[in-house]
Structure 1
Amino acid sequence: MSLIVRTTRLSASDDLLDHLPEDYPLAWVRRGEGLVAFGRAAEIRTAGPTRFSDAGKWFAELAARSEVTDEVDEPGTGLVAFGAFAFADEPGHSTLIVPEMVIGRRGATTWITTVNDALQPMPEPVAPTPDLAWSDGALDRETWLETVRNAVSRIQHGDLDKVVLARDLIVTTAEPIDVRGPLRRLAAEYPNTWTFHVDGLFGATPELLVRRERGLVTSRVLAGTIRRTGDDGQDLALAAALARSSKDLEEHEYAVESVASALEAHCSSMNVPEAPYVLHLPNVMHLATDVTGVAHDSSTALELAASLHPSAAVGGTPTEAALALITELEGMDRDRYAGPVGWIDASGDGEWGIALRSAQITGNQIRLFAGCGIVGSSDADAEWIESEAKFVPVRDALGG
């Protein structure tokens, strides 16, 4: 297969998400910038431990065969693919999709990319949200609390240092949901996150796994969370407490170390701040660290994402012990929750987030996910409260 790809400037100032039709929408937007797309010009589905390399090889070969005219020359122009990858080697499925049309915005520049002269459809009105029925996922409250206590005991006995345990909620709808509605609400309510949708997986992640942009590599690490109250004075006090919390600082340190160690193999001039800052979001506050470096090899954004996944922020430390404990205790298939989600262009630039604050649509069922980092000083009830706070963005976007 070969593709004819053309990118031209576009005079448009409306919201990117307003361009999306109901069929096959793809999105990666933040603060009004990013990429939206639709249609499927080409696609690969992969699984197992070679899912990243299989997808990357397929895309590189497709790019080499394609005829590309790019009048804009920005990251995200020309041939672009959107992807979402499974958290674990097994089970789970991953996908990389080349859309028929992409509309992008970066600063004052807006562009449109067409593949094989695709025509832009007229977006239909967003359908109202159907009735929702909520239920527990794999584990109810008491079972999940006991699972966290079990993990704390394992950590205190020296089996590992940290593990991230997740839980899910199930929503059943009377009819399939139009994902454009939740996407618009997430983008409006959480503008500092990356609002995304790829192949039924949608959400608003605050965590950028990796960005590669003309040689500069960036990763935002989040670990350590506290719920906001809505009272500015109280929230400032909570932010100060979070910044001093030994439990949260320990959890955060493991996550930063895992990212810095993975990037060090690909980057020079690494900058790893000594202390985190507090990232304020509408529902929670996180300890955050932005790690940067200059790429000294030819690794693409997808290859960098593969080398970083799973970081301690979504798996634990040591990695193998944490993943084994997740499989033993969590009681569910994460599928693509907490896996890389984002985009890559033919030059190797791209942005990949971690699929957090997310949900998976499958027919008339939606699975919401939330996870918490567990260390030796974790309290199960506090972790439950944290997980409830992490459900809020998608729950509110669905109208639940």
Structure 2
Amino acid sequence: MSVALETPQQLTVRTVALPDGRDLLTHLPERTPLAWIRRGEGLVAWGEAARLTLPAESDGSGAERFRAAAHWLSAIMSGADIDDAVGLPGTGPVVFGGFTFDPGSPDSTLVLPRVIVGRRGGRTWLTTVCDRPGAHPSDILTAMTPVRPVGPLHWSEGTLSTPEWGDAVASAVARIRGGDLDKVVLARDAHAEADSDIDARALLARLTRDYADCYAFSVAGMVGATPELLIRREGDAVTSLVLAGTRPRGATCERDGELAAELTGSDKDVEEHGYAVDSLRETLSPLCSAIEVSEEPELLRLANVQHLASPVRATLLPGASTLDVVAAMHPTAAVGGTPTATAMRVIRELEGMDRGRYAGPVGWVDAHGNGEWGIALRCAEIEGRRARLFAGCGIVAGSDPEAELAEADSKFRVMRGALTD
């Protein structure tokens, strides 16, 4: 990958405490909103002091774009004049990013915003990024226009029709039973079009309200609420969360319990989850020590679905960076399959579409390497009046096409609800 990594002249970065307890989203203007929020805390930002957009990789190895991003990130951070009066993870300069799922896809994007408002542990701060000493970013004075409703939507099917996607699932099951691979994750897309440009802030407000336990994000047009934490880094401490195996929530407590028992007792789902845990452990081993994973998965209940979940804790080895870990972990078995190379080939053949940044890493990193990166799931790509939604399902030998279609529909409901007034 040959990329001209243009970086601005020395940046002046100032972080100060902000005596403001408002909802973080109320700070966001409509233009270029960036966000990473969970349970009312996190980061919102806007404006662009610097931006990197990467082309498709030439060799398809998957590592080039992360190396290019790390080089650009290092140049940005090392050349900045930083005055941070707060000193928490997420203060000082913060870069938001989203990487494509497939290294053969262009548009992996990193953005250093002009203005950042953050909150952690009840403390709120303001960070400004300027091109020269003493300057004041005009972006901070951006008019906060009222959030606009989305309005009427016109829906259409995605790349594959419902029957075609069911056939793709059946083909994947046949290959798994034939011994080609153990698991593959197949995704679907769907399209919606509004009468006017979609205000991402409306989606973020609904996602943070309805899915407070997920990580609501907005990065370079990709908006969603993911339950899947790829990595959180604070100092040398690394945590992650493996999710694989899903059931919808029940309409009654009794039905909810039945679905939970069905999930925890399902050989198919436990097998799928085990592949994801083994994949993560193997991936982290060269970069981390003291890797701890619970012996049995937990049940994670979200607003619309429930998952088998395994928290992971590890210690980062000296010299390993946040993006090193992100690069090594992507794609996990939870969004790609097992073995990875075979699963990627099957995905390219059967899905019939370019996922773009869906199911790729999305998150943020600060000048000290602290950061949070999730997997871009339960999301939509917003471009003007158009929204492209995504949902994926893990396919193993015991998968049934009709059941997988139902699971994909339950995952679509997150963004359908966020888009519907």
- TM bracket, shorter-chain basis: over 0.9
Q: Distance in 2 between matches of 1:250 and 1:187?
A: 32
1:276 Cα deviation (Å)?
0.4
Shifted more, 256-265 versus 348-357: the winner is 256-265
The yes-or-no answer on 1:211 pairing with 2:219 is no
For each residue in 1:31-85, what CA deviation from the matched residue of structure 2 results, as whole angstroms up to 9, or x when unmatched?
A: 0000000000101111324111111110111111110000111111111100011
**Alignment partner for residue 76 of structure 2, among 62, 66, 82?**
62
Question: Does the 8 Å CA contact 1:5/1:79 hold for their aligned counterparts?
Answer: yes
The yes-or-no answer on 1:383 pairing with 2:397 is no
Letter in 2 for 1:300: S
1:300 Cα deviation (Å)?
2.4
Q: Distance in 2 between matches of 1:12 and 1:298?
A: 37
Question: Does the 8 Å CA contact 1:30/1:193 hold for their aligned counterparts?
Answer: yes
The yes-or-no answer on 1:374 pairing with 2:382 is no
Q: Partner residue of 2:320?
A: 299
The yes-or-no answer on 1:15 pairing with 2:29 is no
The yes-or-no answer on 1:118 pairing with 2:123 is no
Question: Does the 8 Å CA contact 1:299/1:348 hold for their aligned counterparts?
Answer: no
For each residue in 1:135-178, what CA deviation from the matched residue of structure 2 results, as whole angstroms up to 9, or x when unmatched?
A: 00001111111110000000000000000000000111212101
1:271 Cα deviation (Å)?
0.3
Q: Secondary structure at the match of 2:95?
A: strand
Question: Does the 8 Å CA contact 2:287/2:317 hold for their aligned counterparts?
Answer: yes
Q: Partner residue of 1:394?
A: 415
Letter in 1 for 2:159: A
Shifted more, 120-129 versus 154-163: the winner is 120-129
Q: Secondary structure at the match of 1:62?
A: helix
Q: Partner residue of 1:90?
A: 104
Q: Distance in 2 between matches of 1:385 and 1:375?
A: 16
With structure 1 as the length reference, what TM-score do the two structures score? 0.98
The yes-or-no answer on 1:28 pairing with 2:41 is no
Q: Secondary structure at the match of 1:203?
A: strand
Q: Secondary structure at the match of 1:254?
A: helix
**Alignment partner for residue 38 of structure 1, among 46, 64, 71?**
46
Q: Distance in 1 between matches of 2:367 and 2:353?
A: 35
Q: How does 1:24-173 map to 2 (within 5 A)?
A: 24-47=32-55, 48=57, 49=62, 50-116=64-130, 117-119=136-138, 120=140, 121-173=142-194
RMSD after superposition: 1.0
The yes-or-no answer on 1:228 pairing with 2:282 is no
Q: Distance in 2 between matches of 1:276 and 1:164?
A: 20
The yes-or-no answer on 1:202 pairing with 2:248 is no
Q: Distance in 2 between matches of 1:258 and 1:93?
A: 26
Letter in 1 for 2:47: G
Q: Secondary structure at the match of 1:395?
A: helix
The yes-or-no answer on 1:336 pairing with 2:357 is yes
1:301 Cα deviation (Å)?
2.0
Q: Which runs of 4+ in 1 moved over 3 A?
A: none
Q: Distance in 1 between matches of 2:392 and 2:403?
A: 12
Letter in 1 for 2:171: N
1:364 Cα deviation (Å)?
2.2
1:288 Cα deviation (Å)?
0.5
Letter in 2 for 1:276: P
1:278 Cα deviation (Å)?
0.7
Shifted more, 76-85 versus 48-57: the winner is 48-57
Question: Does the 8 Å CA contact 2:184/2:346 hold for their aligned counterparts?
Answer: yes
The percent of aligned pairs where both chains have the same amino acid is 50
Q: Distance in 1 between matches of 2:387 and 2:318?
A: 40
Q: Distance in 1 between matches of 2:264 and 2:106?
A: 36
Q: Partner residue of 1:316?
A: 337
Q: Distance in 1 between matches of 2:321 and 2:370?
A: 6
Q: Distance in 2 between matches of 1:150 and 1:234?
A: 32
Question: Does the 8 Å CA contact 1:212/1:300 hold for their aligned counterparts?
Answer: no
Q: Distance in 2 between matches of 1:230 and 1:28?
A: 30
Give the number of equivalent residue pairs. Answer: 400
Q: How does 1:165-184 map to 2 (within 5 A)?
A: 165-184=186-205
1:229 Cα deviation (Å)?
2.1
For each residue in 1:294-343, what CA deviation from the matched residue of structure 2 results, as whole angstroms up to 9, or x when unmatched?
A: 11223222221111000000000000000000000001110000000000
Question: Does the 8 Å CA contact 1:169/1:367 hold for their aligned counterparts?
Answer: yes
Letter in 2 for 1:368: L
For structure 2, the residue ranges without an aligned partner over 5 or more in a row are 1-8, 131-135
Q: Partner residue of 2:3?
A: none
For structure 1, the residue ranges without an aligned partner over 5 or more in a row are none
Question: Does the 8 Å CA contact 2:198/2:386 hold for their aligned counterparts?
Answer: no
For each residue in 1:248-283, what CA deviation from the matched residue of structure 2 results, as whole angstroms up to 9, or x when unmatched?
A: 000001111111111111111110111100100111
Letter in 2 for 1:326: I
Letter in 2 for 1:160: L
For each residue in 1:172-218, what CA deviation from the matched residue of structure 2 results, as whole angstroms up to 9, or x when unmatched?
A: 12121011001100000000000000010000000001111111101
With structure 2 as the length reference, what TM-score do the two structures score? 0.94
Question: Does the 8 Å CA contact 2:300/2:308 hold for their aligned counterparts?
Answer: yes
